[in-house]
């Protein structure tokens, strides 16, 4: 056992020395955990924000003007007034996500209580904004109309008072969500590529063969790669979490950061093992690249990170459960936003460990086969 640990340590130190000699790689790791997180969290808005809206105002009344003025930043840009003939073209090229059509004598009809029609055209190709944006527009318009009429708002007419309260992120700040989302994405991409490419490089340079005539086992070689590269990424995650996410972006972390790092360690174990597995299936670096891309893009897009798992078709939801990232997303959202403790997230940790063990066992097995074929 002591021998085993000593070998792991020595091989691990060797991995770190290799990494140290590649400044490009260090730069990419740095970028992925710093600037990339900042760009994504400050640039990406999943909530309705700065939505481009245009109005065709054929009424030109006090009410219509008031309604138009109600669209203000940060949710909407200042509405553009356009002519009815321009609508199609402007929507086609994506200048506006929403076009509001106020018909002639709208104000007069409202005053007479005729409930006149009001047209809203929504660019439904922009899924994230279309639904929520339309709901915003409706509620803004209702509010304005009620205020103008000095009548009770629609809310007040309801027989109940609905009091929605958003937990864990009361002001619904997207930054909180997207910064962690990018952190998870960076972990996925780097862990798979870094370790997998390290295996292929050793094979292409013949050093892996050299290792195998030494008194070390294939298992030790694979595990040392996992531990060394995993440790580098873990350190990067820790620094990114403290300095970038909490420090620079000021995102509050609800749960235990120690628990998060522990879960990250387990997740890194499973993804690095997966990286080795892919490397043993590829015969050259170009092949590895083409095999790794589908794996990590699937993990990025379908883990419930970008879009919720429950929106996916059942069969896909079921299939994605072999991906450790699904559990890591659940785990990190639980711990970081909702302050979940070990009592709540232990199942995710358990499954990630299990998946990692399966990947590692499979990878070690493939490792032997790969060496037998390559020689």
Partner 1 sequence: MTDLGALAPPVVLEAVSHRYGALVALDDVGLRFAAGGATAVIGPDGVGKSTLLGLLVGVRRLQRGRITVFGGDMGERAVRDAVAPRVAYMPQGLGRNLYPSLSVAENVDFHARLFGLDAAARAARIERLLAATGLDPFADRLAGQLSGGMKQKLSLCCALVHDPDLLVLDEPTTGVDPLSRRQFWDLIDDIRRSRPAMTVIVATAYMDEAGRFDRVVAISDGRVVADGTVAEILAKTGAATLEEAWRSLGRAPGEAPPPPFAMPPRAAGAGGVAIEAEGLTRRFGAFTAVDHVSFRIETGEIFGFLGSNGCGKTTTMKMLTGLLSIDEGSATLLGRPVDAADLAVRLRVGYVSQSFSLWEELSVRANLVLHARLYRVEEARVAGLVAESLTRFDLVDHADDLPGRLPLGIRQRLQLAAACLHRPEVLILDEPTSGVDPQARDDFWRHLAKLSRDDGVTIFVSTHFMNEAERCDRISLMHRGRVLAIGAPADLTREAGAASLEEAFVRRLEEAGEGAAAPPRDPATQPDAVAPPVAARGLAASAGLVWAFARREGLEILRDRVRLGFAVFGSLLLLVLFAFGVSFDVENLPFAVFDRDGSIESARFVETFRGSRYFVERAPVASDAEIDRRLTSGELRFVVNLPPDFGADLLAGRRPEVGVAIDGANTFRAETVKAYLQGVVLAWASRVAADTAGPGASLALPFDLRTRLAYNQAFVSVDAITPGVIMLLLVLIPSAMTAVGVAREREIGSIANFEASPASVVEFLVGKQLPYVAVGLTSFATLAIAARFGFGVPIHGSLAALVVGATLYVFAATAFGLLVSTLVRTQVAAIMAAAILSVIPTINFSGFINPMSSIEGAARWMGLLFPASWFQTIAVGSFAKGVGFFDLIDCDLALFAFGVVFIAAAALVLNKQEA
Positions 235 through 264 that interact with partner 1 (CB under 8 A) = none
Is residue 304 left, alpha or beta, with left meaning phi > 0 and alpha meaning psi from -120 to 50?
A: left
Cα separation, 5 vs 11, whole angstroms:
10
The Cα-based distances of 142 to 136, 145, 148, 302, 359 in angstroms read 10, 5, 10, 37, 56
Is 274 an interacting residue with respect to partner 1 (CB under 8 A)?
Answer: no
Cα separation, 81 vs 213, whole angstroms:
76
**Nearer of residues 97 and 356 to partner 1, judged by Cβ:** 97
Dihedral angle computed from the Cα positions of residues 61, 66, 67 and 69, in that order, rounded to the nearest 10 degrees: 130
Is 292 an interacting residue with respect to partner 1 (CB under 8 A)?
Answer: yes
| Residues 60 to 79 in contact with partner 1, rule: CB under 8 A | 77
Three-state SS at 329? helix
Could you tell me which of 191, 183, 235 has the C-alpha nearest to residue 38? 183
Is 8 an interacting residue with respect to partner 1 (CB under 8 A)?
Answer: no
Q: Which residues contact 239 (CB under 8 A, 6 or more apart)?
A: 33
Token pair belonging to 289: 């690249």
| Residues 103 to 162 in contact with partner 1, rule: CB under 8 A | 106, 109-110, 113, 115-132, 134-139, 141-142, 145-146, 149, 151, 154, 157-162
Q: What angle is formed at CA 222 by the lines to CA 221 and CA 224, rounded to 5 degrees?
A: 65
- Tell me the DSSP string of 84-101: GGGHHHHHHTTS-SEEEE
Of the candidate residues 60, 62, 84, 168, the single one contacting partner 1 (CB under 8 A): 168
Strands (E), 243-312: none
**At closest approach, how far in Å is the CB of 154 from partner 1?**
7
Is 286 an interacting residue with respect to partner 1 (CB under 8 A)?
Answer: yes
**At closest approach, how far in Å is the CB of 110 from partner 1?**
5
Is 234 an interacting residue with respect to partner 1 (CB under 8 A)?
Answer: no
Question: How many residues bind partner 1, per CB under 8 A?
Answer: 152
| Residues 9 to 28 in contact with partner 1, rule: CB under 8 A | 10-11, 14, 17-18, 20-22, 24-25, 28
**At closest approach, how far in Å is the CB of 346 from partner 1?**
11
| Residues 176 to 205 in contact with partner 1, rule: CB under 8 A | 176-177, 182, 185-186, 189-190, 193-194, 197-198, 200-201, 204-205
Is 84 an interacting residue with respect to partner 1 (CB under 8 A)?
Answer: no
339-368 footprint of partner 1 as x/- string (CB under 8 A): xx---x------------------------
């Amino acid at each position: 056992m002591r021998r085993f640990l000593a070998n792991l340590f020595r091989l691990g130190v060797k991995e770190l020395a290799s990494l140290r000699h590649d400044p490009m790689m260090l730069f990419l790791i740095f970028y992925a955990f710093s600037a990339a997180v900042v760009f994504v969290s400050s640039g990406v808005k999943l909530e309705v924000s700065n939505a481009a809206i245009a109005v065709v105002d054929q009424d030109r009344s006090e009410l219509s003007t008031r309604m138009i003025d109600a669209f203000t930043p940060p949710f909407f840009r200042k509405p553009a007034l356009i002519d009815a003939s321009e609508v199609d073209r402007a929507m086609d090229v994506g200048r506006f996500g929403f076009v509001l059509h106020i018909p002639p004598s709208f104000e007069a009809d409202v005053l007479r209580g005729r409930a006149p029609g009001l047209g809203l055209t929504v660019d439904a190709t922009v899924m994230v904004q279309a639904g929520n944006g339309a709901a915003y527009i409706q509620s803004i318009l209702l509010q304005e109309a009620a205020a103008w009429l000095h009548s009770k708002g629609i809310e007040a007419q309801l027989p109940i008072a609905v009091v929605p309260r958003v937990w864990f992120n009361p002001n619904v700040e997207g930054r909180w969500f997207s910064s962690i989302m990018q952190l998870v994405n960076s972990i996925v991409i780097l862990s798979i590529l870094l370790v997998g490419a390290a295996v292929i490089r050793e094979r292409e340079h013949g050093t892996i063969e050299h290792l195998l005539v030494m008194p070390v086992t294939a298992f030790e070689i694979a595990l040392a790669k996992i531990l060394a590269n995993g440790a580098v990424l873990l350190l990067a995650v820790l620094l990114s979490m403290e300095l970038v996410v909490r420090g620079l972006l000021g995102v509050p972390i609800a749960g235990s950061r120690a628990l998060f790092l522990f879960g990250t360690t387990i997740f890194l174990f499973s993804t690095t093992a997966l990286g080795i597995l892919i490397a043993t299936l590829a015969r050259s670096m170009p092949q590895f690249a083409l095999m790794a891309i589908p794996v990590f893009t699937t993990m990025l897009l379908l883990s419930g990170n970008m879009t919720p798992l429950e929106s996916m078709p059942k069969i896909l939801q079921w299939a994605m459960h072999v991906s450790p990232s699904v559990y890591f997303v659940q785990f990190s959202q639980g711990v970081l936003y909702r302050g979940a403790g070990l009592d709540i997230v232990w199942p995710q940790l358990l499954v990630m460990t299990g998946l990692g063990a399966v990947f590692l066992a499979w990878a070690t097995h493939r490792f032997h086969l790969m060496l037998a074929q390559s020689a």
